Chains A and B, each alone.
Chain A
Amino acid sequence: MPADFNWAIGGEAGDGIDSTGKIFAQALSRAGRHVFTSKDFASRIRGGYTAYKVRTSVEQVQSVVDRLDVLIALTQRTIDENLDELHEGSVIIYDGERTTMQDVEIPDEMVGLDVPLKSLAEDAGGAIMRNVVALGAACAVSDFPIENLNSALEKRFGDKGSAIVENNMTAARKGRDYVHEHYDQEFGYDLECTDENYVLLNGDEAIGMGAIAGGCRFYAGYPITPATNVMEYLTGRIERYGGHVVQAEDELSAINMALGAARAGARSMTATSGPGIDLMAETFGLVATSETPLVICNVMRSGPSTGMPTKQEQGDLNAMLYGGHGEVPRFVLAPTTIAECFHKTVEAFNLAEKYQLPVYLTADLSLAVTEQTYPPEEFDMDAVEIERGNVVDEETVGEWQDDQGRFKPHAITEDGISPRAFPGTEGGVHMSTGLEHDELGRRTEDTGMRVQQVDKRSRKVETAKAREPFEAREFGDPDSETLVISWGSNEGAMREAMVFLEEDGIDVRFLSVPYVFPRPDLTDDVEAADEVILVECNATGQFADLIEHDTLTRVKRLNKYDGVRFKADELAERIAAMLAGDGEEEEATA
């Protein structure tokens, strides 16, 4: 396990927790350290406990663990909520002048640093900077050069003028100096810096960036947690490339606008979360049957209904695989890391256009809202390829007309793929409809044509399976008798869990699957293993069902549906217990 350091700031929603946490994460990243962040937040704007956690190391970090070394507590509740993660020697920074913190309870074995955050901030120019004072104090505790914090403050406040930046730097310095002057002790933390340059971003941002890189120019959406950030990212950026974002009146409108834009030839996308997916279901069928390329991004949160809007879950797999009436092909892609959110978004657009069908691109809340550092080369823009599939122009349209010169947008072909003509193309005039249709796109109830069109649409899936590398990502010991399979954001926690397991002498093979449909055939892998454990954040094991269905073999299920993502150490423990037999046939515990 890389030598890591775990830091958090917690308080009430409205205390500026998020931006303070982000500044610290950025300071670490700018110091050439790897960072992984996570947020505990409730579905409210003001009041209520909220925390921003940062795990950092010189090696890449891809998960959270149950451990906190330094905690900035703006409320007593912050300490209470995190007691389990605090340990002997953990440092708690608080403001004893704050009325609610005067009788603060710091457990004996921990170090409490009472720093007058508010008064020091006032000395520096305003009480609003008290969190920055706390950041300065944290620098002192962790022996972290304050220049790096200054660089992050510059980035955060640069727009607001040099005076504001200066004041914040002063505030930070006051926090650091206060600790040095009043607490003459070694805390035992040392945050070494490197010369590396990393970028720090979350999954929603990676999806937005992938969309622009992948040629998406039209986005219509309706705000919903945790998908809104995709829209916020694209707004103000997509215009630079001739694109546009519309905030529609609801999800029904959003998907229909996106459909219209796609028919006009734009690479087009909408993003939403579970409740929005339900609303889009009717049009989803139209997208599929009119063979329109569209990327529908579902950033999953806890369901059903409005569930727990700010909590993690991977519960919408069935809705995406089977949602909508009738039978229509669709692809479901599930990036497994934040970087993959970028790559899979680019791929989603290519697949949608090559196979002319709707592609669900699904991230989960954990991927969407947490940030991770990467070397910038991870997002290699030169490697982005754009494949538009079978689009005809004025020269080629003739190949796809019938003997009366009518264009055939639903031509029956061997590979199931028909031609596309964008409006404005002379000779490509045609109508599309949600009704069953013939090759010209005209309504039909002819039994033969119905069967031919259904078969044609499903042939695209077979074609894609033959042409595309729908493979799993493989980790660990290829010969291990224990096979762990997961999808979505669990990859990071599992990869780090493998390090813990190895320390206990347990080797596993791990397959992380980014393609839900079509998906790789794992029959041989499952058959070769003695134990197969399916890890996912839902109660019923929706992905496990699929694997059992594909391989005709029972697998063990390791589920979590309390709204909190898997942590690496927790996951390692539960896998070890399952292998030892204690947790065997373990009830799907929360």
Chain B
Amino acid sequence: MSSDVRFTDFKSDAQPTWCPGCGDFGTMNGMMKALAETGNSPDETFIVAGIGCSGKIGTYMRSYALHGVHGRALPVGAGVKLANPDIEVMVAGGDGDGYSIGAGHFVHAVRRNIDMTYVVMDNRIYGLTKGQASPTSREDFETSTTPEGPQQPPVNPLALAFAASGTFIAQSFSTDAQRHAEIVKEAVEHDGFGFVNVFSPCVTFNDVDTYDYFRDHIVDLAEVDHDPTDYEDARSRILDPGSEYQGVLYRDEDSVPYEKKHGVDANMSEIPDGAPDDAMDLVREFY
């Protein structure tokens, strides 16, 4: 780790093709800041991105990275981290990517508790496919595929993570640059799976969950009486319908990451030139 890393070192020279004003710009800046401030360098960082407008983030950041298939970024991140625990792994994707096609992986990544960070750019819509309902869309939100609204309640990602025994559950707002970067930084520093749901408005297809809406409705947990290490406190906030919190909702201070529990600490890229010295013992087992 080098201390002289600046957040711009995490910026690639590719020009983002996000719509001007898209919330993803702010989300990404906060991620880069958090990485730099926690002392990581691009050489030792791996970003895994999903598919969607959100998933393009891997292209615009500079580090080792993989832009995978829709919904499967979390398992890729797990593989990278377990194969080389010295690498800082950050996974990013959208609400469709993470809570629809990838919902199964989300729940299991949370309970596996590998030491990595997952940032979901939640715009409550499918952006890249041009405006269909997402799992976090409101029940009455009219879209091209749901002219009457989805007529199903939205998924509560925080509650999903909580139910899956998440050890770090947070939410932020991409345009509140300072707070957002702070929260992501805390997620990076957490010993275990740091999950941040980011309100990252889509200015093109979502005219309900807008910057103005969030500005009016967000309650910052730093400004109310909330103890993220208190399970009951966390539960009541996470299950509070219609609330839009910003901050760390739950943090398990006793979290032991998967790698520690399972004794995974080797850099697996280093292997001998031939079979291990005692490999004939493997054969002898079959006597």
Binding site for B on A (CB under 8 A): 29-30, 197-201, 205, 209, 212-215, 217-218, 220, 237, 239, 241-244, 246, 248-250, 252-254, 256-268, 282-283, 286, 290, 376, 379, 381-382, 384-386, 422-435, 442-443
Determine if B268 and A264 form an interchain contact, defined as CB atoms under 8 angstroms apart: yes
Determine if A376 and B48 form an interchain contact, defined as CB atoms under 8 angstroms apart: no
Q: Which residue of A lies closest to B77 (CB)?
A: A260
B274 is an interface residue with CB less than 8 A from chain A: yes
Cβ-closest 6 pairs across A and B: A260-B79, A265-B269, A242-B266, A266-B268, A199-B286, A256-B75
B65 is an interface residue with CB less than 8 A from chain A: yes
Determine if B268 and A386 form an interchain contact, defined as CB atoms under 8 angstroms apart: no
B273 is an interface residue with CB less than 8 A from chain A: yes
Known: A249-B108, A260-B75. A432 touches B271 (CB 8 A): no
Determine if A384 and B80 form an interchain contact, defined as CB atoms under 8 angstroms apart: no
Determine if B42 and A429 form an interchain contact, defined as CB atoms under 8 angstroms apart: yes
User: B151-176 CB contact bits vs A (8 Å, 1 = yes)?
Assistant: 00000000000000000000000000
Q: Which residue of B lies closest to A429 (CB)?
A: B42
Contact with A259, one of B45, B64, B76, B82 (Cβ below 8 angstroms): B76
* A457 to B216 Cα, complex, angstroms: 53
Determine if B79 and A264 form an interchain contact, defined as CB atoms under 8 angstroms apart: yes
Q: Which residue of A lies closest to B62 (CB)?
A: A429
Known: A283-B69, A428-B43, A433-B58. A197 touches B287 (CB 8 A): yes
* A385 to B267 Cα, complex, angstroms: 20
Q: Which residue of A lies closest to B73 (CB)?
A: A256
Distance (whole angstroms) from the CB of B263 to the closest CB of chain A: 7
Using Cβ atoms and an 8 Å threshold, which residues of chain B touch A212? 275-276, 279, 282
Known: A218-B82, A218-B83, A424-B87. A260 touches B76 (CB 8 A): yes
User: B242-270 CB contact bits vs A (8 Å, 1 = yes)?
Assistant: 00000000000000000000111011111
Determine if A283 and B276 form an interchain contact, defined as CB atoms under 8 angstroms apart: no
B67 is an interface residue with CB less than 8 A from chain A: yes
* A386 to B268 Cα, complex, angstroms: 14
Using Cβ atoms and an 8 Å threshold, which residues of chain A touch B264? 244
Determine if B43 and A423 form an interchain contact, defined as CB atoms under 8 angstroms apart: yes
6 A-B residue contacts at CB 8 Å? Answer: A199-B286, A212-B275, A260-B83, A261-B80, A283-B69, A386-B273
Contact with A213, one of B79, B80, B275 (Cβ below 8 angstroms): B275
Distance (whole angstroms) from the CB of B224 to the closest CB of chain A: 36
Determine if A268 and B105 form an interchain contact, defined as CB atoms under 8 angstroms apart: no
Contact with B286, one of A200, A381, A385 (Cβ below 8 angstroms): A200
Known: A241-B276, A260-B83, A386-B273. A432 touches B65 (CB 8 A): yes
B contact residues, range: 35 or more
Contact with B268, one of A218, A256, A376 (Cβ below 8 angstroms): A218
Using Cβ atoms and an 8 Å threshold, which residues of chain B touch A241? 276
Determine if B272 and A386 form an interchain contact, defined as CB atoms under 8 angstroms apart: yes
Using Cβ atoms and an 8 Å threshold, which residues of chain A touch B44? 423-424
* A5 to B270 Cα, complex, angstroms: 48
* A405 to B94 Cα, complex, angstroms: 32
Determine if A432 and B66 form an interchain contact, defined as CB atoms under 8 angstroms apart: yes
Known: A256-B72, A264-B79, A376-B284. A424 touches B84 (CB 8 A): yes
Determine if A260 and B14 form an interchain contact, defined as CB atoms under 8 angstroms apart: no
Using Cβ atoms and an 8 Å threshold, which residues of chain A touch B263? 239
Using Cβ atoms and an 8 Å threshold, which residues of chain A touch B32? none
Supply 13 further A-B pairs (C-beta < 8 A) apart from A198-B287, A218-B268, A425-B43.
A212-B275, A212-B276, A252-B75, A253-B72, A260-B66, A263-B64, A267-B271, A268-B79, A283-B69, A381-B279, A386-B273, A431-B59, A432-B67
Determine if A205 and B286 form an interchain contact, defined as CB atoms under 8 angstroms apart: yes
B196 is an interface residue with CB less than 8 A from chain A: no
Contact with A429, one of B64, B75, B284 (Cβ below 8 angstroms): B64
* A556 to B76 Cα, complex, angstroms: 45
B211 is an interface residue with CB less than 8 A from chain A: no
Contact with A384, one of B79, B104, B107, B279 (Cβ below 8 angstroms): B279
Using Cβ atoms and an 8 Å threshold, which residues of chain A touch B63? 429
Using Cβ atoms and an 8 Å threshold, which residues of chain B touch A215? 271-272
B232 is an interface residue with CB less than 8 A from chain A: no
Using Cβ atoms and an 8 Å threshold, which residues of chain A touch B12? 431
Using Cβ atoms and an 8 Å threshold, which residues of chain B touch A213? 275-276, 279, 282
* A422 to B72 Cα, complex, angstroms: 21
Q: Which residue of B lies closest to A265 (CB)?
A: B269
Using Cβ atoms and an 8 Å threshold, which residues of chain A touch B87? 264, 423-424
Known: A243-B268, A268-B83. A376 touches B283 (CB 8 A): yes
B46 is an interface residue with CB less than 8 A from chain A: yes
* A563 to B249 Cα, complex, angstroms: 55
Determine if B69 and A286 form an interchain contact, defined as CB atoms under 8 angstroms apart: yes
* A29 to B72 Cα, complex, angstroms: 46
Distance (whole angstroms) from the CB of B4 to the closest CB of chain A: 14
Distance (whole angstroms) from the CB of B278 to the closest CB of chain A: 8
Using Cβ atoms and an 8 Å threshold, which residues of chain B touch A427? 43
Q: Which of B62, B81, B274 has the most CB of A within 10 A?
A: B274
Determine if A217 and B268 form an interchain contact, defined as CB atoms under 8 angstroms apart: yes
Determine if B62 and A283 form an interchain contact, defined as CB atoms under 8 angstroms apart: no
* A267 to B263 Cα, complex, angstroms: 19
Determine if B104 and A249 form an interchain contact, defined as CB atoms under 8 angstroms apart: yes
Determine if A260 and B43 form an interchain contact, defined as CB atoms under 8 angstroms apart: no
Determine if A256 and B280 form an interchain contact, defined as CB atoms under 8 angstroms apart: no
Q: Which residue of A lies closest to B58 (CB)?
A: A431
Using Cβ atoms and an 8 Å threshold, which residues of chain B touch A263? 46, 64, 66, 76, 79-80
Distance (whole angstroms) from the CB of A306 to the closest CB of chain B: 20
B148 is an interface residue with CB less than 8 A from chain A: no
Q: Which of A264, A282, A429 has the most CB of B within 10 A?
A: A264
B240 is an interface residue with CB less than 8 A from chain A: no
Q: Which of B35-91 contact A (CB under 8 A)?
A: 42-48, 58-59, 62-69, 72, 74-84, 86-87
Using Cβ atoms and an 8 Å threshold, which residues of chain B touch A425? 43
Q: Which residue of A lies closest to B87 (CB)?
A: A423
Determine if B80 and A264 form an interchain contact, defined as CB atoms under 8 angstroms apart: yes
Q: Which residue of A lies closest to B104 (CB)?
A: A249
Using Cβ atoms and an 8 Å threshold, which residues of chain A touch B269? 264-266, 422, 424
* A250 to B14 Cα, complex, angstroms: 35
Determine if B68 and A256 form an interchain contact, defined as CB atoms under 8 angstroms apart: yes
* A182 to B87 Cα, complex, angstroms: 71
